[in-house]
Amino acid sequence: MRLQATLFLVASCVPSTLAIYADEVGHIDFHHALLGVPSEQSTFFQRPSSSSNAALLYTLSDKSLLGAVNPKDGALLWRQNLSRPAVTPGHDNQGLLRASGGTNAVVSALGDYVSAWSALDGKLIWENWSPGMPVVDLELLELEDASSAPSVTDAIALSGGKAGSVKRLDGSTGKIKWEFHDESGDVPFQVSASSTDVFYISLQPALLKGYKLRVTSLDPLTGRQTSQQVLNSDNDITGPDSVLFVGANTALPIVAWADKSHRTLKINAIGTKQVTAVNIGNTSGADIRSIKLHAPRTLNALPHFLVQYETESGSWAEVYHIDLASSTVSKAYSLPFLQGWSAFSTGTKDANVYFTRVTESETTIVSSASHGVLGRWPQHPPLDRALHAVSEVAMKGDSVALRSAIVLESGDWQLIQNGAVGWTRPEALSKALAANWADVDSQQDLAHQLEVEGHESIIKAYTHRVKRHLKDLEHLPDWLKELPKRVITSILADEVSNLDSYGVSKPVIVATKNGWVYALASGDHGKVSWRVKAAEEDAWNVKSIQIQPGLATVHVDDGSSVTLNVTTGAITQRASATGKSPLSPEDDVSSDVYIVTQEDERILGWSSKDSRVPAWVFQPAPGEKIVRATARPSHDPVASIGKVLGDRSVLYKYLTPNAALVTTVGDNSATFYLIDGVTGRILYTSTHKGVDTAQPIASAMSENWFAYSFYAEGSDPSEAKGYQLVVSEMYESPIPNDRGPLGSAANYSSIADLPLPHVISQAFIIAEPISHMAVTQTRQGITTRQLLVALPESNAIVGIPRPVIDPRRPVGRDPTSTEVEEGLMKYAPVLEFDGRWYLSHARQVAGINTVLSAPTLLESTSLIFGFGNDIFATRATPSQAFDILGKGFSKLQLLLTIVALAIGVAILAPMARKKKIDTLWKARS
């Protein structure tokens, strides 16, 4: 207790930390700036300007993030979020991205917006908005005419809605040059372009079932209709997904589809009536599962294309040529059937077309003109399964260089350069649903062994300990081998890299929505240590990850779970679904006897003695909906049961491990219920009117206080309008030194009616919304806590010092001398986020919706991990690092000083003895 009191005094005297220093960026934190899983139709290599020699890698992901990546190292150069709060109802809002050679812009479409962005830095050039008309397709018109400058490429946008609309947008301003309206009632499908025409393709309902293809030719200068053809598909086309491919910006674009039995491929050169039927030579003996068509999208490329056929066991491909004069299609050659997966892609160099095939064991490239293999590179080690790829080809004399960006089955993005893996971007982590810090410390196992010995007899305990010591001798050779390195490292290494033994480099286990589990090495800049496919579901609704020594258990909302080894990722156990889904650890309200679940807009408390009938049920008022339930963290130690005031009196904290803060929303209102997790009793209620429930509402709990934030519309002039942060503290009594009704009780039960807490609240106006809240955690709870908030508009994580948001700050007056001694300051209604509170420093940490905190063996240090779209981790020292030496302390210099002093003592000691003896002789003489 004396040691704890001393540490508490030291922690309270040290000023709060001011985020992290510039020289700590990249050392005590790591950041994965992610885009999401790249889209197959909106990913490509492209030079950012006509004067640039090197190409960048552009993509529009499944999370509506547009970005540019450096192909050399996979670094994110820039990104833009295209998603908007309001989307068009009934539309999937799939994003589109296009670019044209020789320009410095990329053009995107999402919803009813078309935007042009600088290819170099991602800055917005122009934007075109068509309300209620979602963009169905987008192409760039690679024509140089009198109405467009040579360096500008106009865009052709197809919008859907009640009627189809084709618009030509000026490449410099985004203004509409012309617009064609389709009033036929057809389903707008795609647009295409050749060197002379713009084609509008729609799906015309057939008389009985299915669709026909209607192709309308438009004049590129005026937008007037010049011709129209209807292609009979013989009921092969049942919807947009039945059309395999529609080409654009080629000398002769094509449209292709297959019959329902996958025996015949039908191809039409757009603008003509002729439909070529090609028999599919399936010699694999298995049914064709999918057909994909790969073709160039440049105006000067040869009219060659590749058709990929895929079965359950493997795939093959056929290359076709189109005769420009007769518009006929002929087969050139075939690529053989190979077992396993294959990812094909198209690359161009001048007018030449190249096809790349990436498999598990090798990468090959062929010319579209001949089947001869131009390059072949084996893969070591074998690649994971790839879904799709894009490639860039470079010819150097007779040799060929190739790099392909492939999207793996996990969702990660990988670059293969001449058969070697260049980099891997863990884009699947953008689908993270749950995470937790793993525990691989052997001290936890030792603690378990000691606990076992404590419950045994003396003889059994002694025998167990001897066996444990003998088993530990197995590790003695490795320990002796590592001893010199540990000694040298402890002397020469600085503070940042020499704290692994204090638990600051714990791995992080992350579970994603598509069924994958990752382990990130926090001590190695967040490098992926392993990844495992733990579930086959595409929508794996993970609720939480619980950690035991050496193991991590992933819990799903249906009650099933998967347990993995945190070191290797091996799955050790699976549990089937129970149908009862507990809340996540952050939302978990449990004790030794009770567990809390959320079902059907109710919160239920279950007793482990009788799991058939809930012990209690909490149901909000009519018209209210539960949106969140927050409880104290599982590790939330209390260093002091009371708050010492300036006059040395004590306000005793209202402490209960079973409390939960339940958030409900109604019509323009939000209510926060503080309930007891054992009895279901409501301890405190706070209702706020005029709340915009579409805005984020976040909450957090710790010790005897809780906080929440929301946006208030402020219909009453006297009410504040804007984003608000409310902080409340709970005490046993409003009177100092008073323990309330239970003050004299020796024992009490949680089942009995407990006294209600005395709650002190205070609200602050903040400048922006908070998407998530958490509280820093330390080993003993002595260090001053910080309220961790994720700011989606600033793309940052901020640690607000707890004293700044103390609800007891005096209102309308300066603090008294005793209040100053407590550290209280005058209340200010506006809380500005100090730049020194930003734990993310200058990093743009985008899309963070969950922040976790974990303690270390150092009382001063707390681990922070945030995920959502990006992945970010750092270390926080709310009271500064008072229990470790700083980087300025030199252990080597200390040792040299000790050695120098020892040498000095050794030299001076004989001289001192001789002088003392001489003095004694002189005194006697």
Residue at 292 is within a domain: no
**Position with higher pLDDT, 21 vs 523:** 523
CA dist., res. 505 & res. 160, Å (int): 52
Strands of 38-46's sheet in order across: 38-46, 56-61, 65-69, 76-81
Residue where a domain terminates, one of 501, 516, 546: 501
How many structural domains does the chain have?
3
CA dist., res. 46 & res. 121, Å (int): 14
- Do 482 and 624 lie in a common domain? no
pLDDT of residue 588: 43
Determine the 3-state secondary structure of 342 from DSSP. Answer: strand
Kind and range of the H or E element at 466? helix 458-472
Using the predicted structure, report yes or no on whether residue 5 has a pLDDT greater than 70. Answer: no
CA dist., res. 569 & res. 578, Å (int): 24
- Do 761 and 616 lie in a common domain? yes
- Do 469 and 596 lie in a common domain? no
Using the predicted structure, report yes or no on whether residue 85 has a pLDDT greater than 50. Answer: yes
The count of C-alpha atoms lying within 13 angstroms of the C-alpha of 165, restricted to the half-sphere facing its C-beta, is 18
CA dist., res. 200 & res. 181, Å (int): 10
- Do 768 and 649 lie in a common domain? yes
DSSP string of 504-522? SS--EEEEETTSEEEEEEG
Q: What is the pLDDT of residues 236-257, one digit of tens each?
A: 898 888 999 998 878 889 999 9
DSSP 131: T
Q: What is the pLDDT of residues 281-296, one digit of tens each?
A: 888 888 999 999 999 9
**Position with higher pLDDT, 608 vs 903:** 903
**Strand segments (E) across 51-186:** 56-61, 65-69, 76-81, 96-99, 105-110, 113-118, 124-129, 135-141, 154-159, 164-169, 176-182
Residues linked to residue 671 through DSSP beta bridges, in sequence order: 664, 687
Kind and range of the H or E element at 603? strand 602-607
pLDDT of residue 679: 84
Mean pLDDT of 899-912: 92
Q: What is the pTM of this model?
A: 0.86
Cis peptide, bond prior to residue 89, ω within 30 of zero = no
Residue with tokens 């005029």: 690
> Which candidate, 791, 792, 772, places its Cα nearest to that of 81?
792
CA dist., res. 54 & res. 72, Å (int): 10
Residue where a domain terminates, one of 501, 536, 569: 501
Residue at 765 is within a domain: yes
How far out from the chain centre does Cα 359 lie? 28
Task: Label residue 127 left, alpha or beta by phi (over 0 means left) and psi (-120 to 50 means alpha).
Answer: beta
Residue at 725 is within a domain: yes
- Do 497 and 592 lie in a common domain? no
End-to-end Cα distance, the chain: 61
Token duo for residue 750: 């949680």
> Which candidate, 193, 123, 134, 194, places its Cα nearest to that of 162?
134
Q: What is the pLDDT of residues 906-923, one digit of tens each?
A: 999 999 999 889 888 888
| Bridging pattern class, strands 516-521 and 527-533 | antiparallel
- Do 475 and 592 lie in a common domain? no
CA dist., res. 723 & res. 911, Å (int): 77
Query: In the chain, pLDDT over 70 holds for what percent of residues?
Result: 88
pLDDT of residue 90: 42
Q: What is the pLDDT of residues 562-613, one digit of tens each?
A: 999 999 999 999 988 766 555 444 444 444 445 677 766 788 887 766 667 7
- Do 730 and 606 lie in a common domain? yes
pLDDT of residue 559: 83
Using the predicted structure, report yes or no on whether residue 129 has a pLDDT greater than 80. Answer: yes
**Strand segments (E) across 828-923:** 848-855, 862-868, 871-876
Residues 6+ apart with CB under 8 A from 910: none
Kind and range of the H or E element at 257? strand 254-258
Evaluate the CA torsion angle 732, 738, 739, 742 in order and state its sign. negative
Mean pLDDT of 718-746: 84
Residue with tokens 């129209």: 228
CA dist., res. 97 & res. 898, Å (int): 66
pLDDT of residue 753: 64
Kind and range of the H or E element at 626? strand 625-631
Kind and range of the H or E element at 215? strand 211-218
Read off φ and ψ for residue 805, nearest 5 degrees.
-110, 30
Determine the 3-state secondary structure of 226 from DSSP. Answer: strand
Using the predicted structure, report yes or no on whether residue 750 has a pLDDT greater than 70. Answer: no
Residues 6+ apart with CB under 8 A from 414: 383, 384, 386, 405, 406, 407, 408, 421, 423, 424, 425
Pinpoint the alpha helices (H) of 493-624: none
Q: How confident is the model at residue 453 (pLDDT cuts 50, 70, 90)?
A: confident
> Which candidate, 204, 177, 168, places its Cα nearest to that of 188?
204
Determine the 3-state secondary structure of 802 from DSSP. Answer: helix
CA separation, residue 13 to residues 191, 822, 823, 824, 880 (Å): 69, 11, 10, 14, 10
pLDDT of residue 611: 65
Q: What is the pLDDT of residues 29-54, one digit of tens each?
A: 899 999 999 999 999 999 998 888 88
Token duo for residue 834: 């100090």
Pinpoint the alpha helices (H) of 805-890: 817-822
806-823 CB burial, b ≥16 within 10 A, e <16:
bbbbeeeeebeeebeebe
Determine the 3-state secondary structure of 192 from DSSP. Answer: strand
Determine the 3-state secondary structure of 403 from DSSP. Answer: strand
Query: In the chain, pLDDT over 90 holds for what percent of residues?
Result: 56
Residues linked to residue 96 through DSSP beta bridges, in sequence order: 109
Largest CA distance in the chain: 137
- Say what angle helices 891-924 and 476-492 make with each other, to 10 degrees: 80
DSSP string of 18-51? -S--GGGTTTS-EEE----SEEEEEEEEE-SSTT
pLDDT of residue 443: 55
Under 8 Å between Cβ of 661 and 603? no
Read off φ and ψ for residue 85, nearest 5 degrees.
-60, -40
CA dist., res. 157 & res. 165, Å (int): 8
Q: What is the pLDDT of residues 151-210, one digit of tens each?
A: 568 999 999 877 889 999 999 999 999 999 998 889 999 999 888 899 999 999 888 788
Cβ atoms within 10 Å of 149's Cβ, excluding its own: 11
pLDDT of residue 498: 61
- Do 479 and 591 lie in a common domain? no
Residue at 763 is within a domain: yes
- Do 494 and 608 lie in a common domain? no
> Which candidate, 746, 605, 778, places its Cα nearest to that of 675?
605
Cβ atoms within 10 Å of 714's Cβ, excluding its own: 14
DSSP string of 50-76? TT-SS-EEEEEETTSEEEEE-TTT--E
**Domain encompassing residue 454:** 442-501
CA dist., res. 192 & res. 243, Å (int): 14
CA separation, residue 862 to residues 18, 60, 73, 264, 641 (Å): 14, 36, 32, 63, 22
Residue 592 one-letter amino acid: D
Pinpoint the alpha helices (H) of 608-650: none
Token duo for residue 405: 């960006």
Residue at 655 is within a domain: yes
Under 8 Å between Cβ of 805 and 729? no
Residue with tokens 């020469």: 492
Residue at 910 is within a domain: yes
> Which candidate, 19, 55, 59, 24, places its Cα nearest to that of 39?
59
> Dihedral (C-alpha) 787, 792, 793, 797: value to the nearest 10 degrees?
40
CA dist., res. 596 & res. 372, Å (int): 66
Residue at 867 is within a domain: no
Q: What is the pLDDT of residues 651-692, one digit of tens each?
A: 999 998 888 899 999 988 999 999 988 888 899 999 999 999
CA dist., res. 38 & res. 895, Å (int): 54
Mean pLDDT of 855-874: 93
CA dist., res. 343 & res. 315, Å (int): 9
- Do 627 and 760 lie in a common domain? yes
Helices vs. strands in the chain: H and E counts, helices first: 6, 60
Residue at 616 is within a domain: yes
Residue with tokens 């991590």: 552
- Do 465 and 592 lie in a common domain? no
pLDDT, mean over the chain = 86
pLDDT of residue 89: 42
Residue with tokens 């449990």: 590
